[in-house]
Structure 1
Amino acid sequence: MSRQAPTLEDVAREAGVSRATVSRVVNGVRNVDPAIQDLVRQAIARTGYAPNRAARSLVTRRTETVALVVSGAGDASEETQDVFTARVFADPFFGRVVSGVVGFLRPRSMHPVLMFAETEESREQVVRYLRQGSADGALVVSTHADDPLPARLAEAAVPAVLFARPARPVPLSYVDLAHRDGGRLAAEHLLAGGRRRVATVSGPLAVPASAERLDGFRAAMARGGHPGSPPRRAASPWRAAGRRSPACSPATRTWTGCSPGTT
């Protein structure tokens, strides 16, 4: 017969405190004397007690999880879904995003739940999952201008933060970089080095970050006396293969890349 799992009562008996005190320590309530907290934690270690997350969620109304949603656009076929998923996991930029999210959540005893939303069905699943309270919130990696998910999350009134500014205004918070400033700094650097025949390689212009970087680059070139620059521009996917562009040939001498994670 399997051994019964330790309970709060077992921990309380081991620590010599009340069940309510153990519950407060387990749930992170701060108004417990530090010495008592240490006694309870030692008793938890000795008994092997593990909180029941389902029961704890009923009390705290928290799941201690955050959905990390990678969102595409359109309604992909099954074959395209496989390609989409493979591309996400092969992208070193996404790997750094995941690392940052895990690094922030783990010390807070929280965990990410990875979700994909590249089809109409999967977008509905994400919205339903979040509306049911299955996660405490969502961090949404959405880079395509036509992606309908941000607007749907706003309509559903679920807690979500976008990774990058959406192409169309939605009442959701977002975190982004100063892309126009990045493009401007690249152009100013090239002009300061005496470069005059300049081409640029941008990411897909349907992605707001790519368009903003190109705008900043062109504006700086115009201020430097080169209106209409760059005369040569190539748009490529944000993948290593996409950087093998004619605009990067030795004849152009100088170019600026707009793909995250490239050098």
Structure 2
Amino acid sequence: IVPEDTTTFFGDPFFAAIVAGITGALGGSDYLLNLLIASNDPGNKMTSFIRNGGVDGALIVSHHTSDAFIDQIADAVPVVFGGRPAAVGDNDYVVDIDNVAGGRTATAHLVQAGHSRIAAINGPRTMLAAADRAQGFHATLADAGLVAFAEAEGDYTEASGAAAMRQILTVGRPDAVFVASDLMARGALTVLNAAGIRVPEDVALIGFDDSPIALTTTPLLTTVRQPMYAQGEEMANVLLARLAGGTPPQTTILSTELVVRESA
């Protein structure tokens, strides 16, 4: 289950990697993957389908704090969350990325390179992964005796990254920007290029994901690699274990890694 609209789902390579990982793990099982994409659940159609026996279990990715229908699904079938939900219950199973560490690693790289006017383009505040990346950003700045030069929020789309970068430039020109996704970073890069601001000579830029997007930009994007395929694979493995009556770990945290290319 992906609580997003179809434009977001098909436009972001994050979801393709997650689905590939899930499909790989399910390949040797008797289960088939049903992909349900819905930014909300008008008429409770999806919820009714699940609660009436349409599926044996659910994998939920990219959920928001406002997705109230998820509680009704979790009450009906075994669920594994990709990323922690707003409130983790005693029976919730979560496969998450260490987003705080990812935000810390990216920001530390910028600080160690001598940057001090560091801005951030954060993901949507309704998603805990975005809040965790921002937490890592702020904590690392505080450790260095710095505060954010400016911040703006996007929704993980390229257009929102461009809009956020334009908003930051109304404050002034930072010397580095940490962006919470590669797609938003590409949007930010487009705005910087249009303004005649060179990357990385004038402004260093770091994304998050290490999706194929990072290899389409000029310069190539320095980014935080999150193991998207492995997350999907582990989510499916945890659900399969639950369906088989096993006792998998309730929380699995996967590590991130900084991939240094040309933009920072």
Instruction: Identify the match of residue 57 of structure 2 among 137, 144, 150.
Output: 137
Please name the residue that 2:232 is paired with.
Answer: none
Instruction: Identify the match of residue 142 of structure 2 among 203, 211, 222.
Output: 222
The alignment yields a C-alpha RMSD, in angstroms, of: 2.2
Tell me the CA shift for residue 99 of structure 1. Answer: 1.2
Structure 2, unaligned stretches of length 5 or more? 182-208, 215-220, 222-264
Instruction: Identify the match of residue 159 of structure 1 among 70, 78, 96.
Output: 78
Q: Which amino acid aligns with 1:167?
A: A
Instruction: Identify the match of residue 240 of structure 1 among 139, 144, 158.
Output: 158
Residue 213 (structure 1) aligned with residue 133 (structure 2): yes
Please name the residue that 1:194 is paired with.
Answer: 114
Identical counterparts, % of pairs: 31
Instruction: Identify the match of residue 168 of structure 1 among 73, 76, 87.
Output: 87
- Matched residue of 1:256: which SS? strand
For residues 137 and 109 of structure 1, what CA distance do their matches in structure 2 show?
Answer: 13
Change (3 A) 1:248 1:204: farther
Tell me the CA shift for residue 185 of structure 1. Answer: 1.2
For residues 108 and 8 of structure 2, what CA distance do their matches in structure 1 show?
Answer: 33
Deviations 1:154-191 (A, max 9, x none): 333x1111111112233421111111111111121111
Q: Which amino acid aligns with 2:54?
A: S
Deviations 1:122-167 (A, max 9, x none): 6x333333333332211112431111133222333x1111111112
Instruction: Identify the match of residue 176 of structure 2 among 232, 254, 257.
Output: 254
TM-score by length of 2: 0.62
Asked if structure 2 preserves the Cα contact closer than 8 Å seen for 1:248 and 1:255, the reply is no
Mean Cα displacement is larger for which, 99-108 or 245-254?
Answer: 245-254
Instruction: Identify the match of residue 67 of structure 2 among 147, 172, 176.
Output: 147
Residue 116 (structure 1) aligned with residue 37 (structure 2): yes
For residues 56 and 169 of structure 2, what CA distance do their matches in structure 1 show?
Answer: 45
- Give the paired residue count: 180
Q: Which amino acid aligns with 2:119?
A: A
Please name the residue that 1:81 is paired with.
Answer: none
Please name the residue that 2:19 is paired with.
Answer: 98
Q: Which amino acid aligns with 1:176?
A: D
Asked if structure 1 preserves the Cα contact closer than 8 Å seen for 2:41 and 2:69, the reply is no
For residues 38 and 144 of structure 2, what CA distance do their matches in structure 1 show?
Answer: 43
- Matched residue of 1:200: which SS? strand
Please name the residue that 1:182 is paired with.
Answer: 102
For residues 237 and 137 of structure 1, what CA distance do their matches in structure 2 show?
Answer: 28
Tell me the CA shift for residue 248 of structure 1. Answer: 7.2
For residues 257 and 142 of structure 1, what CA distance do their matches in structure 2 show?
Answer: 18
For residues 102 and 88 of structure 2, what CA distance do their matches in structure 1 show?
Answer: 22
TM-score by length of 1: 0.62
Q: Which amino acid aligns with 1:197?
A: R
- Matched residue of 1:251: which SS? coil
Tell me the CA shift for residue 90 of structure 1. Answer: 1.9
Change (3 A) 1:150 1:132: same
Tell me the CA shift for residue 109 of structure 1. Answer: 4.3
Asked if structure 1 preserves the Cα contact closer than 8 Å seen for 2:104 and 2:139, the reply is yes
Change (3 A) 1:191 1:119: closer
Which one has more relative contact order, counting CA pairs under 8 Å at least 6 apart? 2
